[in-house]
Amino acid sequence: MAYYNPEPKYEHGDQLKVGILLANLGTPDAPTAQALRPYLRQFLSDTRVVEIPRALWWFILNCIILAIRPKKSAEKYAQIWLKEGSPLLVHAQKQATLLRGFLGQKIKSPFAVELGMSYGNPSMQSAIDKLKAQHCDRVLVFPLYPQYAASSTASAMDAVFRVLLKTRNQPAIRSIRNYNDHPAYIAALASSVREHWRINGKPSKLVMSFHGVPKVHLTSGDPYHCQCHKTGRLLAEALELSKDEYLIAFQSRFGKQEWLKPYLASTLEDLGKAKTKRIDVICPGFSSDCLETLEEIAMEGKHIFQSNGGGEYHYIPALNENEAWIHAMTAIALENLQGWVSIEWDYDLVNKGNEMTKLRAQALGAKQ
């Protein structure tokens, strides 16, 4: 048995490239219990996601969770599934195509962009195979998670390193850890909220909902909680919101452990009971819409709020293919590709760079 994966054919003179590997969580191949089972098994077997001792967890996962959850989750996925597939995958593929186009206007040297998932398809292996087939000898890993969490960002990096363990001719690797306070990301969020308000008017409160993680991750040193709060504060500052005009909550609790608080569900219940006239909910930690935003926030969240007496409920879509977001992705990638690519320094980019430097100085000037 070979220890290492076969290498693509290389001829002297073939042009070497830089690869940008967009990394995301992954999603089932279909909204069915059969497709959910292997996806959930892979996802929930990751020790980055569930840290319970393996023997005990093997029993809980195989005898309880995988017996019940695939069917329940499949019903939820079926409600949000698009003609082209899972929203998470459809948006991530479009983001990859757009980023390729935007970077193509800025980078003079050869490069490639591919998408890889931590769980399910397209696998990290297939993405790295595609980059290697295009002769990428340097790879920038760009996780589509603005806030670093061990359960998302680090698990994506683990997936990359697992492939590299089986790779004879390894590319050089750089990775983007977090961009939760990047001015271009904050500006993209702010412009999407402003656009929603331009059309629909302003709510009584803006609720910023982030995916939760177990509280023990925070107390063990995961910076995710602080990075979510910083994103929330910078977004509120960009929108000139006072403290009573917004709040931050954490969604998607899984299992019995305590997770980051306040929980979104109880927050929505309280806002409903307080007869809040209108709330808008945004999920700044999700670069694209997915099950957690379209079903849990846009549908379930609305039901919780309104069945407790709340008024109007608006879900503000994720950044998806917003132009400002693709510009932000381009800026973040270019900042991290310095020295690896030659850049077309056109007037537009210099102007954008100046704007970016000004915004960054403002963001860094704000308290950490």
Ligand X SMILES: C=CC1=C(C)c2cc3[nH]c(cc4nc(cc5[nH]c(cc1n2)c(C)c5CCC(=O)O)C(CCC(=O)O)=C4C)c(C)c3C=C
Residue of minimal Cβ distance to Fe ion: 226
Distance separating alpha carbons of residues 46 and 42, to the nearest angstrom: 7
C-beta of 50 vs 326, nearer to Fe ion: 50
C-beta of 106 vs 211, nearer to ligand X: 211
- In single-letter form, the type of residue at position 147 comes to Q
Q: Give whole-number Cα distances, 233 to 181, 226, 282, 332, 339, in Å.
A: 10, 10, 14, 20, 33
Q: Are 153 and 143 in contact (CB under 8 A)?
A: yes
Min CB(168)–ligand X separation in Å? 33
Q: Select from ligand X, Fe ion, none the partner in contact with residue 180, using the beta carbon and a kind-dependent cut-off of 5 to 8 Å.
A: none
C-beta of 88 vs 282, nearer to ligand X: 88
211 annotated ligand binder: yes
Min CB(54)–ligand X separation in Å? 16
Residue 151 in tokens? 């359960």
Omega before residue 214 within 30° of 0, cis: no
Residues making contact with ligand X (CB under 6 A): 25, 27, 49, 69, 73, 86, 88, 145, 149, 151-152, 211, 213-214, 252, 254, 285-286, 290-292
Residues making contact with Fe ion (CB under 5 A): 225-226
Min CB(268)–Fe ion separation in Å? 19
Min CB(282)–Fe ion separation in Å? 18
Min CB(31)–Fe ion separation in Å? 17
Q: Select from Fe ion, ligand X, none the partner in contact with residue 291, using the beta carbon and a kind-dependent cut-off of 5 to 8 Å.
A: ligand X
Lookup result for tokens 């409600």 = 79
C-beta of 192 vs 209, nearer to ligand X: 209
Omega before residue 262 within 30° of 0, cis: yes
- In single-letter form, the type of residue at position 80 comes to I
Distance separating alpha carbons of residues 240 and 238, to the nearest angstrom: 5
* H or E stretch covering 141: strand 136-143
> Percentage helix, strand, coil, to 5, in the chain?
50, 15, 35
Q: Select from Fe ion, ligand X, none the partner in contact with residue 225, using the beta carbon and a kind-dependent cut-off of 5 to 8 Å.
A: Fe ion
> Largest Cα–Cα distance in the chain?
70
Q: Select from Fe ion, ligand X, none the partner in contact with residue 151, using the beta carbon and a kind-dependent cut-off of 5 to 8 Å.
A: ligand X
C-beta of 106 vs 225, nearer to Fe ion: 225
C-beta of 14 vs 84, nearer to ligand X: 84
- Within 13 A of 162's CA, how many CA atoms are on the CB side? 16
Known binding site: residues? 211, 292
Summarize the annotated binding site for Fe(2+) as residue ranges. Answer: 211, 292
